[in-house]
Structure 1
Amino acid sequence: MLFKSRQAEELKQQRARLVKKSSEGMIAFRRFLFAPNLLTFVISVVVGNAFGSTVRELVSTLFHFFSAIWRWLIQANHPIRFDSTWTALSAFLTSALTLLAIALAVFYFIQFINNWLIGTEDEKWGYDEPHQDSLNEQALQRENNKLVEKNIALQEEIIQLLKNKSEGK
């Protein structure tokens, strides 16, 4: 009986260690997965790729439009035809709507992450969340501005003292 009790206690301890390690691992993985730098990179790649496609389609639309105008102006008795321009315009509008849909999906995905998957307020991230490095830079800039103001005040005081000294001679 003592032997079974000992095995049961060891089993409980092993289970507790396993749960603790897996819990710590999941927290570390979640922090990695939702790290601001990683999310910024992913968003930049996804939205940037969609934006690049939209710009490519816009250039194609403009090229087809100017090509139709060029053929109409240069070639004799050539009717102006915008068939290829309409096709390119359709592709551009499709690409622009895709870009908008991707941007909305990314926005709501970040909202989902912040509201449902991230446990603490400190870990939340989003498009308007200031990063700590930029906050530190802003604090340094404010401190620098105060020092510059003090420097200017001291320089004005020195100039005034020099003026008073030169007038007194």
Structure 2
Amino acid sequence: MRFKARESKEFQEQKNRLIKKSSEGMVSFRRFLFAPNLLTFVISVVVGNAFGSTVKELVSTLFHFFSALWRWLVRPSHPINFSSTWANLSDFLTSALTLLAIALAVFYFIEFVNNWLIGAEQEKWGYDEPHQDSLDMQKLQRENNDLVKKNIALQEEMLRLLKEEKKEN
């Protein structure tokens, strides 16, 4: 009877150690997966690729438009024909809508990560993080500018007092 109790206790301890190790591993993996630098890189690659494709389609559309216009202007007997431009315009609009869909999907994915998967507020990653850093820097700059103005005012006051003292002597 004593042997079974000891076996049960050891089993319970091993189970608890395994759960603790796997929980720590999952937390580490989650931190790695949702690290701001990794997410920034992934988002940059995905959205950048879609943006590059959109720009490529826009350039192609403009090229075909100006090519059709050029043929019409240079060759008087050539009728104006924008059929190739329409196909490229369709490709451009498809690419632009794809870019928009990818951007929305990334935005809502980040919202999901922040609201459901990340518990601690300091671990949350956001699309406005650099914006907040910029606002903090602007606030510090305004405070610094105010201190510089006060310093200048104090120096001017000291100079005024020294001039008055010289006049009295």
- Quickly name the TM-score band, shorter chain normalised: 0.7 to 0.9
TM-score (norm 1): 0.86
- 2:87 aligns with 87
Q: Structure 1 residue 60 and structure 2 residue 50: aligned?
A: no
TM-score (norm 2): 0.86
Q: Structure 1 residue 96 and structure 2 residue 87: aligned?
A: no
Taking structure 1 as reference, are residues 138 and 19 closer, same or farther at Cα in structure 2, changes over 3 Å only? farther
Q: In structure 1, how many angstroms separate the alpha carbons of the residues matched to 2:132 and 2:64?
A: 47
Taking only the aligned residue pairs, the percentage that are identical comes to 75
Report how far residue 152 of structure 1 moved: 1.7
Deviates more, 1:82-91 or 1:119-128: 119-128
User: 1:108-156 CA distances to partner (integer Å, 9 max, x unpaired)?
Assistant: 1111112221123332222234688657645643553343233222332
Instruction: Output the amino acid matched with 2:141.
Output: Q
Report how far residue 12 of structure 1 moved: 1.0
Q: CA RMSD in A?
A: 2.4
Q: In structure 2, how many angstroms separate the alpha carbons of the residues matched to 1:28 and 1:139?
A: 35
Structure 2 segments unaligned to the other structure (5+ residues): none
Deviates more, 1:36-45 or 1:97-106: 36-45
- 1:5 aligns with 5
Instruction: Output the amino acid matched with 1:73.
Output: L
- Alignment: residue pair count: 169
Q: In structure 1, how many angstroms separate the alpha carbons of the residues matched to 2:7 and 2:164?
A: 93
Deviates more, 1:39-48 or 1:158-167: 158-167
